[in-house]
Amino acid sequence: MWIMPLEWDALYRRAYDGVNYRLRGFAGGRLAGLCRPTSVVFLLTELCNAKCVHCDIWRNKGKEDSPTLDQWKTVVRDLRSWLGPIHVAFSGGEALLRPFTTDLAAYASELGLFLEVLTHGYWDDQSRIEKLALARPGRITMSIDGIGDTHSLVRGREKFWEKSFTSLQTLKRVREEKNLGYVIRLKTVVMSHNLHDVANVAKFAAENGMEVFY
């Protein structure tokens, strides 16, 4: 399988996305059946070590019967061969609970996919975050639902903000030290619990060279 240079990947994605979006509405939608996926999200796990007030996936317990690393690599490789270097996201649950997530991320990046990995950043062990950064994804998205105590309240665990903040600082440091190009994006779920703090998330993102997505 031929891997395009990075700049060609970006041009391909823009052209590919544009054609597929336009086909959906062209000729009254009669050509919509020709469209292909422009973005694919893989749920690597349904387990999570947060206890968010707006989500109950953390209630899932026990051992998961899920694909192995080699099986996931086959899926990712076949997807790349079929659709080209499209946007692919690894999510959960908490994606980094899977021991092979960073290895799979590195493999997907090597194939030329525009990879996004979603995490909550609630980790004492920052080597996990460093390894994710070194996997060279296109974007790392961290769930941030407020600044300080607001975030910890929404996420349902003590010191959640402190640990997520440390992970963000690690991502910034590794990006600068290794001259990496990944985007750091903050993802905020707007709700009554954090409505007063939504603007502060945007301000924090702007001050730290990050994107924000609501």
123-180 pLDDT tens trace: 999 999 999 999 999 999 999 999 999 999 999 999 999 999 999 999 999 999 999 9
Torsion of CA 128, 130, 132, 137, to 10 degrees: 170
Torsion of CA 19, 15, 108, 176, to 10 degrees: -140
Pair 170, 140: CB distance under 8 Å: no
Q: Cα 212 to chain center, whole Å?
A: 13
CA-to-CA distance for 109 and 139, rounded, in angstroms? 11
CA-to-CA distance for 135 and 204, rounded, in angstroms? 25
- The CATH superfamily label for domain 36-213 reads Aldolase class I (3.20.20.70)
How large is the greatest C-alpha to C-alpha distance in the chain, in angstroms? 54
The whole-model pTM stands at 0.90
The per-residue pLDDT for range 168-183, each reduced to its tens digit, is 999 999 999 999 999 9
**Short-list 186, 74, 191, CA closest to 141:** 186
Query: Does residue 116 surpass a pLDDT of 90?
Result: yes
Give the whole-number percent of the chain exceeding pLDDT 90.
79
**Short-list 61, 62, 59, CA closest to 51:** 59
Mean of the pLDDT values across residues 14-29? 78
Query: Does residue 95 surpass a pLDDT of 80?
Result: yes
Give the whole-number percent of the chain exceeding pLDDT 70.
96
CA-to-CA distance for 198 and 144, rounded, in angstroms? 10
Residue 2: predicted pLDDT = 52
